[in-house]
Structure 1
């Protein structure tokens, strides 16, 4: 009789043992699938975290220009960046804030009336006070790269309250030399937690008189200078900071610039995700080895219980490798439906399990140094066909190992030795 057909008859005749074997395989396959899903989810979450959290690098150099800052920002490893171009501007049609303290004797009044501190930026969300939460957008939005060439402004809440300004309204400001006037649409209102100084302070040094505008607007309002005070770059990992440092050295001159890396948010979030991914990979190997060991013991016990059957078959001339093949087919037959059941369980429970280990969907970084607007993309756990194939492959491998290793003893036996022990 064909050993495959004989394996099917054996499974039908031993229904309770077949059900037990199936249950063992279902548990093994579910754990294997869970390990694969967790590792894949961790890899996706790590990529999202690198893109949204990343590592912030601040570059400062005397004489750093917008052109050089843009060339450095064009690097393939830079996700986002912004230079900061400081300027002074005069108010027109609205009142800037003034110090509540008494003005010291002998202090002269600004002749140019440049009471506003203007910061030209490409992406206000990249500035560290905004990126790490000390300054918050209370209404509207910040300055974005799409605002290049547009007359828009992000103003401080105290200035907005003093002049009853809201998002969508327009303010008029003059250049420092009084020769140019710009109409700026208020696109956002931010809050600076810095308190007003207790001593008299010039208006342009008050935190409430700060405006953020696109870099082109800042050049027009200032002295048309292209020198920036600093540039901030967001990278994917601390390793890429070394690459950016080398690129900055070629552009700016080695050792002539200040290069500071802020990777606290990355260390707090991404390293934890990487550890979960490593743990998931370890789970897969441990389960595979433990599963092979457990099934090997089960098959060994079954072989001992069926020694008489084996002796009769050998006495009838059945080849030993077919006896081992029969056991392999029996175990593999239980493995295939177990993979299907595990895939169904993974589809139903994969998402809750992923949320449990890697955080809820849409979760914001938990570190105090994390950007408030850096919301990690929702975690989606799917049972992909490739993952099911991997689980099936490991499951069949376990079934093969668990039958071949105990079956080695069969190769050393003869019908007389088997039947004599009965």
Structure 2
């Protein structure tokens, strides 16, 4: 009789032991699938957290050029970065705000009258702390983005816009203090700075309402390329990448002579716990696979011991020994596959709640640090995919093979007479 057919008949005749073996396999497969799903969910969530939180690195250096800042962002270590240039400019065709109080000791100097505006050249207003924290908000239009490179646009303060009846889409002109260069810029957004006007005389360019944000390229045009980067902020994925960025900074700028500050508090508070969950899940899968193989090996060894008479009869009838081992392997594998299907069904219902239990509390704990805004990671998504089910099936079949072949090796050393006469 074919040993595969004999395996099916054996499973049918031993229903209670088959059900017990199925229950053992179901528990093992459910735990394996749960570990894989948790590991995958943690990996996806960690990737999202690295992008949304990451590590902020601030580089400052006297004479830091825009080209140098761009090169630091080029090696592929940086997710997002912002370079900031601060210059002063004069208004043409519109009226800057003026201090409410007279200047102590006399009137403003001629140079001061020609540079009433504080022009901040940036790549991305979203990376500026006041905007990222939400204390400064864009009330109309939009902020400056990296896509504005090559465009002459501006985001102006609400008080300046109200005083000159400006709105998004209007064009204003700014002029260098020496009057040599004049730049027309299109207003693409209006923001509101919560800072109040000072209760004493303040230079016009220091009034909150006289602040403009423009692309870095516009600042360079306004100053004929003489402006330098006051600071560059890089958002990267991990502290390890910060060390690599520091090495790249030393290579480009030379050792010393620059300020390199790393803020990884938010990363440590939110990303590291997710990493630990993923590591735990991976370890759990390995431990369960090893423990499952040992448990199944013990169960199969006991079954072989109980079925010594059956084995002796089959050997006496001329059945080959490898077919006896194959029969046990088929029996165990035939139980493993339904267990995998049931585990996948259970995982589709219980996976999301389990993921929320392990990872969900991380997404509802905003963290605030000195240079990173409050961040909230999206809720974890746990889904059963074909690849995960395939991994569980592969591990289950591997355990079936190991748990039957190793105990079955003892059959190869025995003879029919020893199996039929040995009562042990």
Q: TM-score range by the shorter chain?
A: 0.7 to 0.9
Determine if the alignment matches structure 1 residue 397 to structure 2 residue 395: no
Distance in 2 (alpha carbons) for counterparts of 1:413 and 1:158 = 96
- Provide structure 2 residue ranges, at least 5 long, that are not aligned to the other structure: none
Distance in 2 (alpha carbons) for counterparts of 1:365 and 1:150 = 39
Q: 1:219: which partner in 2?
A: 220
Determine if the alignment matches structure 1 residue 89 to structure 2 residue 77: no
Q: Secondary structure at the match of 1:190?
A: strand
1:50-69 aligned at under 5 Å gives the runs: 50-69=50-69
Distance in 1 (alpha carbons) for counterparts of 2:106 and 2:73 = 42
- Provide structure 1 residue ranges, at least 5 long, that are not aligned to the other structure: none
Q: 1:287: which partner in 2?
A: 288
Range with greater deviation from structure 2 (275-284 or 364-373): 364-373
On the 8 A contact 1:175/1:220 being kept in 2, the answer is no
Range with greater deviation from structure 2 (184-193 or 271-280): 184-193
Q: 1:24: which partner in 2?
A: 24
Q: 2:41: which partner in 1?
A: 41
Q: 2:326: which partner in 1?
A: 325
Distance in 1 (alpha carbons) for counterparts of 2:347 and 2:158 = 50
1:8 CA displacement: 0.8
Distance in 1 (alpha carbons) for counterparts of 2:419 and 2:28 = 36
Distance in 1 (alpha carbons) for counterparts of 2:174 and 2:361 = 45
Range with greater deviation from structure 2 (91-100 or 112-121): 91-100
Distance in 1 (alpha carbons) for counterparts of 2:273 and 2:166 = 44
1:72 CA displacement: 2.3
Determine if the alignment matches structure 1 residue 271 to structure 2 residue 272: yes
Q: 2:340: which partner in 1?
A: 339
Q: 1:13: which partner in 2?
A: 13
Q: Secondary structure at the match of 1:234?
A: strand
1:112-261 aligned at under 5 Å gives the runs: 112-131=113-132, 133=134, 135-163=136-164, 165-222=166-223, 224-261=225-262
Classify 1:206/1:359 alpha carbon distance in 2 versus 1 (closer, same or farther; 3 Å).
farther
Classify 1:262/1:92 alpha carbon distance in 2 versus 1 (closer, same or farther; 3 Å).
same
TM-score by length of 2: 0.85
On the 8 A contact 2:39/2:282 being kept in 1, the answer is yes
Distance in 2 (alpha carbons) for counterparts of 1:75 and 1:293 = 48
Distance in 1 (alpha carbons) for counterparts of 2:354 and 2:138 = 34
Q: 2:102: which partner in 1?
A: 103
Classify 1:163/1:266 alpha carbon distance in 2 versus 1 (closer, same or farther; 3 Å).
farther
Cα RMSD, aligned residues only: 3.3
Number of residue pairs aligned between Structure 1 and Structure 2: 420
Deviations 1:36-61 (A, max 9, x none): 22222322333333233322221111
TM-score by length of 1: 0.85
